[in-house]
Chain A
Amino acid sequence: GGGVVRYVNNTNGGPVFVYVRNGKIVRITPIEFDDRDGRSWTITARGRSFTPPRRGTVNPYVFGLRSLIYSKDRLLYPMKRVDFDPRGDRNPQNRGISSYERVSWDEALDIVAAEIKRVKREHGPGAILNSCGSHHTWGNIGYWLSAKTRFMNSIGSSQVVHNPDSWEGWYWGAVHHWGNSIRNGASDTYGTVEDCLKEAEMIVFWSSDPESTSGVYGAFEGTVRRQWAKSLGIRMVHIDPFYNHTAALLGGKWIAPRPDTGNAMALAIAWVWITEDLYDKEYVAERTTGFAKWRDYVLGVTDGTAKTPEWQEPETGVPGRVVRSLARQWGSRKTYLSPGGLAGFGGACRCATGIEWARSMVCLMAMQGLGKPGVNLGCLQQGAPVDTHFYFPGYAEGGLSGDLDNTGLRVSMYQRMVQLPSMNPVSQLVPRMRIPEAILGEEITGYPTDPKSIEGQFRKFGYPAPGHSPIRLYYKYGGSHFGTMGDSNRYVRAYRSERLEFVVNQSIWFEGEAKFADILLPACTNFERWDIGETANSGGYSHHQFIQWNHRIVTMQHKCIEPLGESRSDYQIFLDLANRLGLGNLFSEAMTELDWCRRLFDASDLPTRVSWKDFVKKGYYVVPAPAEQNRAPVSWRWFAEGREKDVPELAPLPADYAEKWRKGLQTQSGKLEFESSSLKRFDPDDPERPPLPSYIPSWEGHHVKELYEKYPLNLVSPHPRYSFHTMFDGKDSIINDVREHRTLIDGYYYWIVRINSVDARERGIADNTLVRMYNDRGAVILAAQVTDRVPPKTVISAEGSAVYDPVGEPGHSADRGGCVNLLTSSRNIISRSHSTPSNSCLVQIQPWSSGDVS
């Protein structure tokens, strides 16, 4: 009523109702179901019945959207850097310094199209580099893997290879013990909500804070399930240097190790199990290989060092008696292990010891009989008994990309959705963590993120690729890297290089990194264009990701308002450029975005349930919960019971089974391997990654004496709870007002660092003191929060600042925007990988005096 129309849209923090009046968004709320929406499931466990509430939850940042859509930092017009003249002086050294002037769309697009043609003509293939963030406004058609990929393929461009940053230790390590390459080494988690509630006696959260990270895209769907677990008396233990929000909500034992030492604690747990007979010998004998060798290593038979709880104490700082008790409880109770907020994430996998940590998690589970009732992975964040047979694609299935090589198109969509194929003829690859070096023309090697097989990651590549041009034109989509990539001053400095002839940035907001472009193209949000998408359905590496949700919710993402200012949808921008390059119909197939939504709708199972007209009108469809007998079986149960694989995923590829299709794992032996056969084949003598999971001290930790004396604080940078990386931060949004996100001091919203009261006292730091956190890589100005939620000598400051605000020369001075990644290392975790060691970072902190720009 009152002239208000209720639309539907979707976000990575949950689906929403959007109330619009007179062309303006009035409010954005979670979705509440009506009686006609698909039925919910019920789980009975220990004499009680559990049914989720009939609504969707949303993450806090979703409520910040209206303020972000109407933000004063929106890019509303095409812009040109004032001292950039494509026909004269380009002044690349002034990127990040000079201001912008408004230009017309025609002028901006003409410049970009002309530059694309020019660098191809003058330098040959490979001279164009495109990169973007990993995440995006929601929807299958507008996603970067869809429209952007199709456009970049059409013009031919060097591709950025993303390191598997969410998974690191799992991809480079765990995969060698249990396979699961299709999930980058993470675990599948089917049926685990029911199994955990029915059977488990304890949950060990290890580097796991689902109340902050929501797994990924899971909003607060898992919260009610964890509350059920608590009410059933399932015990909880939290191993995390931060007393995180999950621990704070659920309680239980908090064990706070020194960061970057997880592997030592894991070995000590194994030591207790072995010496006290607390492991599943039958399972180990029948389902695993290499145990005897690992056992001898753990006991110290091979290297003379018994990995006892007392041995780990100086390493982790956790008393031996606590680890001993943990091991006993874990070994004698049916236990779920939650490594990361999603089984196969966790800040602990993103550090110098992260590969060893993830590998040891697999070995611990192997010792406890992974897959037996109540013994599995997760923390009720994943594994709801929703319908996994109803088909709707995830964003990684490529939308309209037509790209069979670099999206998940060929998994299901290629035979469901008609589209012209698109292929990139340029085979030059740039590792994402080496973009700055690539721009500077240095020679680089990289290792691919290839989920097809365990061995895909061994295929080393080089840059520049033979016969290709180094990078000359950077087509940047979004502006996150200063806040999210390691040692990110490198990215700042690279922008200002003469070698980079042209930078175009296509962004919704005028964020820190956008300010380094020559031309800015203003994109609109998904609330200003049509799209279609299912909540938390990513597809690709994260097959069936939607099982985090209590209900599957597929949405028609209405165009709720007209694009603000002169902004345009990304699709439209690419089409406008394609038209100038004579590629218009090849790019669009003469279809509008709404036409593409219809095609995708038709390709899914939706038409068997709802008409296009009704779907568009209502805006969402809730997939009914399946009958109990049609629920997905529990992950790993088939393996524990020696049956054929029966969970609803078609991985590993048929050829990757040694014996018989669906019999055994992807590993060479088909078993859980304590000693990895793939690593033995690749390099049995690699000291950085030996075939047995081993204790390898961090290369940026307390063992590095000189560095540690100078920088005695371990910085942990988890994911920001109130933003999704850079996407909801800054930009004058109401998220700035969240006390634990940013703090307003003297009119400026500073990013927060948590510091223990002892460390704070020693340095004369109180709550809200402005501090300078620094090391040899740079300095960041932050607001201190003094707390006992972190141990002495550990500090916590999230990654993901969207603001880059150097107090002096860009790339060489302190940043008061809060990009803590200026301080993290760009080194690979191990040399034969492409990986980020975010949480191995030594720093010092001192009070900041405002004149200090260093």
Chain B
Amino acid sequence: MNKYAFIIDVGKCENCNNCFLACKDEHCDNDWPGYSRPQPLHGHRWMNILKKERGVFPLIDVAYLPKPCFHCDDAPCVSAGRGGLRKREDGIVIVDSAKACGNRDLVSACPHGALWWNEEEKMVQKCTFCAHLLDDGWQVPRCVQACPTGALSIFRGSDETLREKIVEQELQPPPDSQNRGGSPRCFYRNLQRYTSCFLAGSVGVEQDGVEECGVGARVVLKKENEVVAEQLCDEFGDFRFDGLAPGSGEYLLEISYNGKVMKSGPIRLSASRSAGTFVFSS
């Protein structure tokens, strides 16, 4: 049996909101009998784009996490829903409009925050994977069609092929989903752009009376006296150790240039940050 899943590349998402808006274009004020009642014009985020800004001016970056319903295999909403939500054979989880009607408590049945209350319809609603379109022969849902960067895609195949793909391409389940449960059918590429943090900084060197960028300065990152990583500063004299776990303790930096060494730390890394600018005087 071919089953669906979302595969989302955080590294390619630019927060254009095409997915979010295409979803609204498809579902607001449109009734798809057997699949979903109209989404209200405002308020719902069936495709919810979360934002993570990392670092301190001017050494920053930003990542986005598009977050639909994960169409979980072991969906808490389905088990709590007393028929209000059901799992299709192709993996898609659908709200049964008749049975879900009136049950406001269902909103909290989803541990991932993917259910939205529709006051007018008196029922929970969520991403349908655009099942009405796929069943009608469409190749992809509206959000995927709308995505200009290739960040959004869907998988269609057996669970076995999906597992292989996950391993091969190092796909990750949604952040924190292991704790929340449900076995999501939604996997992310480059998730560390969103979940991990970095320690960055700049190096300058005084030469002939002016300050130059510390191109090629060696920067060593240490934790409890163990070397964690090592880098040479780029052409702007910048360094950035990425992929560190937030709250992973205290770090030390050792920066060397032309035989001179500077040290910095301990630096506590609760979130991405900049260690500042290190200037080697001549």
Contact = CB atoms under 8 A, between A and B. Distances in A.
Interface of A: 1, 26-30, 32, 57-58, 60-61, 63-67, 70, 211, 219-220, 223-224, 227, 243, 245, 248-249, 251, 253-256, 309-310, 319-322, 324-326, 328-329, 721-722, 732, 734-740, 744, 756-757, 787-792
A721 B21 CA distance: 14
Contacts of A735: 21
B25 A324 contact: no
Contacts of A211: 14, 16
Q: Which of B12, B16, B28, B142 has the most A CB atoms < 10 Å from its CB?
A: B16
Given A58-B18, A320-B211, A737-B24, A29 B142 contact: yes
Given A60-B17, A211-B14, 11 more contacts: A29-B142, A63-B18, A63-B21, A63-B24, A64-B21, A211-B16, A248-B14, A256-B57, A732-B41, A789-B53, A789-B60
Contact of A791 (B18, B58, B204, B213): B58
A29 B60 CA distance: 35
Q: Which of A27, A309, A736 has the most B CB atoms < 10 Å from its CB?
A: A27
Nearest to A227: B149
A27 B30 contact: yes
B25 A787 contact: no
B119 to A, nearest CB: 14
B259 interface: no
B29 interface: yes
Interface string B48-77: 010101011110111000000000000000
14 contacts: A1-B136, A28-B25, A29-B22, A60-B18, A63-B25, A211-B16, A248-B14, A319-B277, A320-B210, A322-B236, A329-B235, A737-B43, A740-B17, A756-B57
Contacts of A245: 14-16
Contacts of B204: 319, 321
B28 A734 contact: yes
A734 B47 CA distance: 13
Contact of B57 (A58, A326, A792): A792
A30 B14 contact: no
A57 B148 contact: yes
A583 B102 CA distance: 61
Interface of B: 12, 14-18, 20-22, 24-26, 28-30, 41-43, 45, 49, 51, 53, 55-58, 60-62, 136, 142, 145-146, 148-150, 204, 210-213, 215, 235-238, 277
A325 B15 CA distance: 31
B41 A325 contact: no
Closest 7 CB pairs of A and B: A220-B148, A63-B21, A249-B14, A788-B57, A325-B213, A321-B211, A734-B24
Contacts of A64: 21, 25
Contacts of A328: 235
A107 B132 CA distance: 48
Contacts of A248: 14-15, 61-62
Nearest to A221: B148
A744 B43 CA distance: 9
Given A30-B145, A60-B21, A64-B21, A243 B30 contact: no
Nearest to B209: A310
B210 A324 contact: yes
A317 to B, nearest CB: 10
Q: Which of A30, A251, A792 has the most B CB atoms < 10 Å from its CB?
A: A30
Nearest to B45: A737
Contacts of A329: 235
A324 B43 contact: no
Contacts of A310: 210
Contacts of A66: 25, 28-29
Contact of B53 (A255, A324, A788): A788
Contact of A734 (B21, B61, B149, B215): B21
Given A29-B142, A63-B24, A223-B149, A254 B18 contact: no
Q: Which of B22, B136, B236 has the most A CB atoms < 10 Å from its CB?
A: B236
A790 B212 CA distance: 24
A253 B236 contact: yes
B69 to A, nearest CB: 18
A57 B146 CA distance: 8
A326 B270 CA distance: 32
SS class, residues of chain B in contact with chain A = mixed
A732 B42 CA distance: 9
Contact of A321 (B56, B142, B237): B237
A738 B238 CA distance: 34
A791 B58 CA distance: 7
B18 A70 contact: no
Contacts of B62: 243, 248, 789
B149 A324 contact: no
A215 to B, nearest CB: 14
Contacts of B28: 66-67, 734
A561 to B, nearest CB: 14
Nearest to B59: A254
Given A28-B25, A58-B146, A319-B211, A254 B58 contact: yes
Contacts of A224: 148-149
A341 to B, nearest CB: 14
Contacts of B211: 319-321
Contacts of A26: 30
Contacts of A736: 42
Contact of B17 (A738, A757, A791): A738
Contacts of B12: 227, 249
Nearest to A235: B235
A58 B213 CA distance: 41
Contacts of A60: 16-18, 21
Given A211-B14, A737-B43, A324 B212 contact: yes
A155 B163 CA distance: 72
A533 B55 CA distance: 46
A791 B15 CA distance: 21
B202 to A, nearest CB: 8
A275 to B, nearest CB: 11
Nearest to B51: A739
B263 to A, nearest CB: 22
A590 B100 CA distance: 58
B57 A223 contact: no
A326 B235 CA distance: 9
Given A67-B41, A788-B55, A788-B57, A738 B213 contact: no
A314 B211 CA distance: 15
B26 A27 contact: yes
Contacts of A791: 57-58
A1 B30 CA distance: 16
B235 A740 contact: no
A41 B142 CA distance: 27
A127 B267 CA distance: 71
Contact of A787 (B26, B41, B53, B145): B53
A51 B21 CA distance: 27
Nearest to B20: A738
A325 B202 CA distance: 13
Nearest to A222: B148
Contacts of B213: 321-322, 324-325
Nearest to A250: B14
A722 B42 CA distance: 16
Nearest to B30: A26
Contacts of B14: 211, 223, 245, 248-249
A757 to B, nearest CB: 8
A614 B210 CA distance: 69
Given A251-B61, A254-B58, A29 B238 contact: no
B259 to A, nearest CB: 20
B121 to A, nearest CB: 18
B25 A70 contact: no
Nearest to A28: B25
B22 to A, nearest CB: 5
A419 B215 CA distance: 65
A321 B210 contact: yes
A68 B24 CA distance: 13
Contacts of B25: 27-28, 63-67, 734
